[in-house]
Structure 1
Amino acid sequence: MPPPGGFEAIRYKRNLPLRGPGGVAILAGVTAISAFGFYRLGQGNLEQRELQREKVWSRLHLVPLLVAEGDRDAYRRDQAALAREKEIMKDVKDWEAGKSVYNNSRYRSRSAIAVI
């Protein structure tokens, strides 16, 4: 026989927990995160462009200093080479130290002479 008060009710409904946010909430979250990411990307691009511009201008302003330093170094090297030539060729009669070995008046830089 059944117990007094009857049998317990049979649970036939599905008792599933909530499975997280809905589709609209997920879409809104992804959109917000993507918008923030694109904003940061744009800010980074602006900063990189400014850094590149700064680098170009700094190089532009340094070029005259580097050229002058190279000219001073070339002058010191020429003077040292002339002194060495005078020392080496001091016993040779009719030798003019520093005179071009080419018989024309066209200007040639030291680097062009070394290549020829």
Structure 2
Amino acid sequence: MSHGFRQDMPPPGGYESIKYKRNLPIRGPGGVVIFGAVAAVCAFGFWRVGMGNLEKRELQREQAWSRIYLVPLILAEQDRDAYRRNQAALAREKEIMKDVPGWEVGKSAYNTKRYTPSTIVVL
């Protein structure tokens, strides 16, 4: 007599397969696209830096030449200013020393024939 044992068997059609693979959706651009975008941005940045360097160099050249062209004007202005100051100093000296007999206005205090520029500037 059989005891009515029943062996466990798979269902008809078999078990479904075990899902062990990662099933992640593709999100965003691929690595090649990102690398290409970064390379493009870097190339554009280097191009802009180069253009900025060219412009900066041109401005420095222009500034140097403008200073070169202005040097004679500035020197002439300094000479005129020094002459006016000297004349004003002589007028003050003449006014201050008018009561001193034998005083020569503008005569150097140094007993030499060498030119000695005045070291005191009165503003």
1:97 aligns with 2:105: yes
Give the counterpart of 1:34 among 17, 26, 42.
42
Residue matched to 2:55: 47
Q: Which has the higher contact order (CA 8 A, sep 6+)?
A: 2
Tell me the secondary structure at the aligned position of residue 20 of structure 1.
coil
CA distance in 1 between partners of 2:81 and 2:42 (Å) = 56
Deviations 1:36-64 (A, max 9, x none): 11011100000000001111111111111
Take 1:56 and 1:110, find their aligned partners in 2: how far apart are those partners?
A: 32
What stretches of structure 2 of length at least 5 have no aligned partner? 1-15
Q: 2:70 aligns with which of 46, 58, 62?
A: 62
One-letter code of the match for 1:61?
A: Y
Ranges in structure 1 where 5+ consecutive residues have no aligned partner: 1-8
Q: CA deviation at 1:23?
A: 0.8
Q: After TM superposition, give the deviation of residue 14 of structure 1 in Å.
A: 5.8
Q: Partners of 1:35 and 1:89 in 2: how far apart? A: 77
Greater helix proportion? 1
Give the CA deviation at 1:15: 5.2
Larger Rg: 2
Query: Which one of 19, 25, 30 corresponds to residue 27 of structure 2?
Result: 19
Secondary structure at the aligned position of 2:109 is classed as coil
TM-score scaled by structure 1?
A: 0.81
Give the secondary structure class of the aligned counterpart of 2:59. helix
Question: Cα distance, 1:16 vs. partner?
Answer: 3.3
- The whole-number CA distance in structure 2 between the counterparts of 1:17 and 1:67 is 77
User: What code does the residue aligned with 2:105 have?
Assistant: A
C-alpha RMSD of matched pairs (Å): 2.1
Aligned residues: 105
Deviation at 1:110, TM superposition (A): 2.1
